[in-house]
Amino acid sequence: MLTDTKLRKSLGKRREKVEILSDAHGLNVRLSAAGAVTFFYRYRWAGKPAQITLGEYPALSLSDARDRRQLFRKWLTEGVDPRQQIKIEKKNKTEALTVDEAYCYWEEYYCRPEGLVGLSSNRKCYEKHIKPALGNVVVDQTDKGNWISVFDTMGRTVMAGEMLSIMKRAFRFCSNRGVISNNPLESLRRSDVGTSPAYQDRKLSDSEIKIIWEELDTLPLPKQIIVRFLLLTGCRTAEIRKARWEWFDLKEKTWTVPAEEYKTGKTIRRALGDVPASMMKSLKELTGSDLVLSKLNSRTRIPQPLNQAQVSEYAQFISNRTGLAHWTLHDMRRTVATRLSELGAPPHVIEKLLGHQMGGVMARYNLHDYIDDQRHWLKVWHDHLEKVVGRPLIKS
């Protein structure tokens, strides 16, 4: 029977010839003339003697060598040749995906074919928070603790919860496809690492809308266009921030956001109404870019969309100047939807104006965009806004 004491005394001891020491159940060590101590396992397969080298002591401990022997014996009782199983293990280790490779696999085989619009923003978040810490680590070699440590560095934030959700989806897809053995995040919940986005119910009153509209007259043109367009249409901030002139048919007074730029991955056409169409016509005469609103990249000097973080501050900027209670640009979207409902607009028309996909059976079978109904209720909304503001929405 082998012992650690016996192995330590044999290690590095020169001898005239190779010696073999046995443990039990096929586990042995080879003592070389130069003093190396190597574990190997002997067994019989198909009536013939076979042998597998396990590793050198002390890099491989006696305890680990015995564990390995027990695994080999288990394989033998199951009718599996340990030599073949070891080859499979080595192949799996060689082909095992790192976190970064698994994330790319998810993007290539799921996100892009499905047309997920959040691809670029998700990748930016991944490269900022996950890739530096675990990108080069094999997924199957990570555990829950490794991931919790990464999420903890992000603080108990909404972003930590979002990144957990993204990585869980990526690993679940990879696991289902058999390219990783397990999903180390499967049992983690958003509440374990971060917080959920807070539910918002802020909507602007008529008096607040009047104050904002009047304050816009004193602000630079980009701020005016974005805030007014949001209030007139109820669209998402990113839709006007990234808008291109090719999306607009100013003659027909419609605008169409292509699938690759839209949150739902579907092309959506909406009515503009007279006021936004007139505003866009005036703006187009002043711009020389394909983008409706743009700024020059400081390095390339190429026009690019306005920065999301900067645009998000427009509401606070107006509040600081007017003393209004805190509000966000997204609150305008909620305000438009609520006011349209109060004015009598049917729910399905409001959904179309907001750019939402229809729910249930209607999403699959009713592809009508209700463009004439959209035009009608936008006019009702714009007439209401004129009464609130107390003057024409477009200066003559």
263 is known as an active-site residue: yes
Count the helix, strand and coil residues of the chain and give each as a percent rounded to the nearest 5: 55, 10, 35
Tokens of 233: 């249409």
Beta carbons of 274 and 380 less than 8 angstroms apart: no
**Catalytic residue at 236?**
yes
| CA 149/CA 147 separation, integer angstroms | 5
How far is Cα 171 from Cα 157, in angstroms, rounded to an integer?
21
Could you say which of 236, 270, 352, 382 is catalytic? 236
The two structure tokens encoding residue 100: 């970064």
Which residue out of 333, 334, 339, 382 is catalytically annotated? 333
* Cβ-contact 293, 243 below 8 angstroms: yes
Indicate if 269 belongs to the active site. no
> Is 105 labeled as catalytic in the residue annotation?
no
One DSSP character per residue, 202-232 reads: ----HHHHHHHHHHHTTS-HHHHHHHHHHHH
Please say if 334 is a catalytic residue: no
66 is catalytic: no
Strand, helix or coil at 303? strand
Distance CA 14, CA 195 (A): 63
Residue 139, helix vs strand vs coil: helix
Question: Are the C-beta atoms of 29 and 2 separated by less than 8 Å?
Answer: yes
Contact 369, 256 (CB under 8 A): no
- Max intra-chain CA distance, the chain: 107
Active-site residue identified among 73, 131, 203, 330: 330
Residues 176 and 151 sit within 8 Å (Cβ to Cβ): no
Q: Which of 356, 375, 376, 384 is catalytic?
A: 356
Three-class SS state of 54: strand
**Cα(163)–Cα(239) distance, integer angstroms:** 24
Place of tokens 């080595």: 90
Q: By the 8 A CB rule, do 28 and 40 touch?
A: yes
- Residue 292 — φ and ψ, nearest 5°? -65, -45
Please tell me which residue in 83, 172, 263, 295 is annotated as part of the active site. 263
Residues with a known catalytic role: 236, 263, 330, 333, 356, 365
